[in-house]
């Protein structure tokens, strides 16, 4: 039996305090300065995790999900939706489309995308989202139908 921790055990101990500090900002959504500082720290951690573990590692993916949540808390739902689309793609590569973590990422992408109001962003992100939702949840899923219907309500812009 290996003595090294499993990725499911959470982030490496050397990073735990820094990650806890970033996540603590979630409890203070009105503290814009604290959220901005948490976003900067999360970006630094992302660079470190990517360098140490690679982009397709569970630690890196989970940190990028934190970055998505921070984007949402700072009033950037389009950025958040893109982060969750990105992490869904990484989850597919790591675990496959049918895995619970992959499904969670795609559901977070749909949730954050629902909060996007700018029509060009709704359509641009929605096109990519429809493909990913279909791949993960299925063509006939409620989420896939919802995404396609919402995109169809907006004017289509040239790419």
Q: Are residues 81 and 101 in the same domain?
A: yes
Same domain for 136 and 91: yes
Q: Are residues 87 and 150 in the same domain?
A: yes
Question: What is d(CA 158, CA 47) in angstroms, rounded to the nearest whole number?
Answer: 34
Same domain, 81 and 153: yes
Q: Coil, strand or helix: which one is 138?
A: coil
Q: What is the pLDDT of residue 9?
A: 62
The DSSP symbol for 26 reads: G
Backbone φ and ψ for 72, nearest 5 degrees, come out as: -65, -45
pLDDT in tens, the chain (159 residues): 333 334 456 778 899 999 999 999 999 989 999 999 999 999 999 999 999 999 999 999 999 999 999 999 999 999 999 999 999 999 999 999 999 999 999 999 999 999 999 999 999 999 999 999 999 999 999 999 999 999 999 887 665
Euclidean distance between CA atoms 93 and 87, whole angstroms: 10
> How far is 60 from 46, CA to CA, in rounded Å?
6
Does any domain span residue 22? yes
In whole angstroms, give the CA distance from residue 150 to residue 32. 31
Could you tell me the sign of the dihedral formed by the alpha carbons of 36, 78, 139, 90, in that order?
negative
Task: List the structure tokens of 75.
Answer: 């009033």
Whether the model pTM is above 0.85: yes
**Helices 119-137/77-95 angle, 10° precision:** 20
What is the percent of the chain where pLDDT is above 90? 87
- How many distinct structural domains can be found in the chain? 2
* Residue 8: per-residue pLDDT: 55
Residue 37 belongs to domain spanning: 14-74
Q: Domain check: are 90 and 106 in the same one?
A: yes
């Amino acid at each position: 039996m290996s003595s090294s921790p499993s990725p499911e055990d959470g982030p490496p101990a050397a990073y735990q305090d820094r990650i806890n500090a970033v996540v603590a900002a979630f409890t203070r959504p009105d503290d814009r300065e604290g959220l901005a500082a948490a976003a900067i720290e999360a970006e630094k951690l992302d660079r470190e995790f990517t360098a140490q573990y690679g982009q397709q590692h569970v630690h890196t993916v989970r940190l990028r999900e934190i970055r998505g949540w921070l984007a949402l808390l700072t009033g950037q739902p389009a950025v958040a939706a893109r982060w969750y689309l990105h992490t869904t793609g990484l989850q597919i590569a790591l675990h496959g489309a049918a895995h619970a973590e992959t499904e969670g990422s795609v559901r977070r992408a749909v949730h954050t995308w629902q909060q996007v109001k700018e029509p060009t962003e709704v359509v641009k992100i929605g096109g990519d989202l429809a493909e990913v939702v279909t791949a993960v949840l299925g063509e006939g899923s409620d989420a896939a139908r919802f995404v396609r219907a919402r995109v169809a309500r907006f004017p289509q812009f040239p790419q």
